Amino acid sequence: MPNFLEIAQIIIPTPPVPGQGLTLTDIGVLIARVGSFLTGVGIILALIAVIVSGIMYMRAGAEPTKITSAKTWFKNVLLGALIVLGFGVIVSTIANVVSRQFFCTVQISIPFYQRCFY
């Protein structure tokens, strides 16, 4: 026969929280949104850096070290912009693979209904 104190210490688990499950499509959409946001921020920063490098080049005058610095800055900005755009392509591809839209051959999309045929 169990002791009264032993019965009082039994832990009753809490019921699971009701809600909707997370699907692969939801994860794909989340990855696409975050990637799109980060790509947009990167492009805006790259445009600002191009403007700054142009101002540096205009202010350089006839000083070769400043001209070289401005040209180097511009080359680095272009390289960074290419990396950001490459990141955007990779994230978009990953999001499409996760949500299975990458393998879709024919897609019918009307409001409130989306169907993909493989």
Does residue 107 form part of some domain?
Answer: no
Distance between CA atoms of residues 118 and 114, nearest Å? 13
Q: Compute the chain's Rg from CA coordinates.
A: 27
Q: What pLDDT tens digit does each residue of the chain (118 aa) get?
A: 556 556 666 677 777 777 777 887 788 888 888 989 999 999 999 999 999 999 999 999 899 999 999 999 999 999 999 999 999 999 988 888 887 777 777 777 777 777 777 6
Query: Both tokens of residue 100?
Result: 């299975």
- b/e map 18-38, b = 16+ CB within 10 Å: eeeeeeeeeebeebbeebeee
Does residue 64 form part of some domain?
Answer: yes
Does residue 18 form part of some domain?
Answer: no
pTM of the model: 0.67
Interior CA angle at 58 toward 57 and 59, to 5°?
90
Does residue 111 form part of some domain?
Answer: no
* Residues spanned by the domain of 60: 46-100
Does residue 28 form part of some domain?
Answer: no
Number of folded domains that form the chain: 1
Does residue 65 form part of some domain?
Answer: yes
Does residue 105 form part of some domain?
Answer: no
* pLDDT, tens digit, 9 for 90 and up, residues 31-57: 888 989 999 999 999 999 999 999 999
